[in-house]
Amino acid sequence: MDNIGTRLKKFRTHSKLSLKDLAEATGLSISAISQFEKGLTQPSVNSLYRIAAALDKEVTSFFETQDNNKEVILRSNKRKRLGVPSSKVTFEVLVPNLEGNIEMLLAELEPGGETAEEPASHEGEEECLIVIGGDIEVTIGEKKYILHDKDSIYFNCSLPHKYKNISDKKVITICCVYPPKF
């Protein structure tokens, strides 16, 4: 079974890029990319987007896909998980395969956890976020919004954005992105 690091190395070497080349193209350090490839750490969602763009790949290509594209049930113990061990945020992919027309993610943010240090954007996408318990601060462009339990927000992903848990307990959000990037 391939992991993200194994596939990253395969794509990088197939593209005839050195670690240095990929680091320069993504703005990530050589050390970080090497650690991703060795499976010592997992790239953040933003790092994975940058790597995929530099390698001219879809983010979905870093994950195994289901053999049966018609599956409709994805058991919680079978979800793909993304996160950095030192981070306070974990993402789970909520769709049974990554080949469809919609991307749904569940994000768990520990107190103080945020999806990125700086707001990030991705062109050509729309996003809807629903908060399940707790309070989060959503930054979109220069504006900040406070969302509470069951609140939702919709926006164009070309605007730099990030989320931060401002409550004292874990917050769960469900995010829907169209078209999918994972």
pLDDT tens digits, one per residue of 68-93: 455 577 888 888 887 766 678 888 88
129 shares a domain with 171: yes
* 48 and 106 fall within a common domain: no
- Dump the DSSP string for 135-160: -EEEEETTEEEEE-TT-EEEEETTS-
Q: Could you give the residue ranges of the DSSP H alpha helices within 15-106?
A: 19-26, 30-38, 45-54
pLDDT digits (tens, 9 = 90+) for 139-162: 999 999 999 999 999 999 899 999
Question: 45-67: per-residue pLDDT in tens?
Answer: 888 889 988 998 878 778 765 45
CATH code assigned at 30: 1.10.260.40
- State the total domains in the chain: 2
Looking at the structure, tell me whether residues 174 and 86 fall in a common domain: yes
Q: Do 42 and 82 fall into the same domain?
A: no
In what order do the strands lie in the sheet containing 152-156? 81-83, 89-93, 103-109, 171-178, 126-132, 152-156
The DSSP letter of residue 177 is E
CB 106 within 8 A of CB 174: yes
Q: Is residue 67 part of a domain?
A: no
Q: Structural domain of residue 19, as residue ranges?
A: 4-62
Q: What is the CATH number of the domain that holds 172?
A: 2.60.120.10
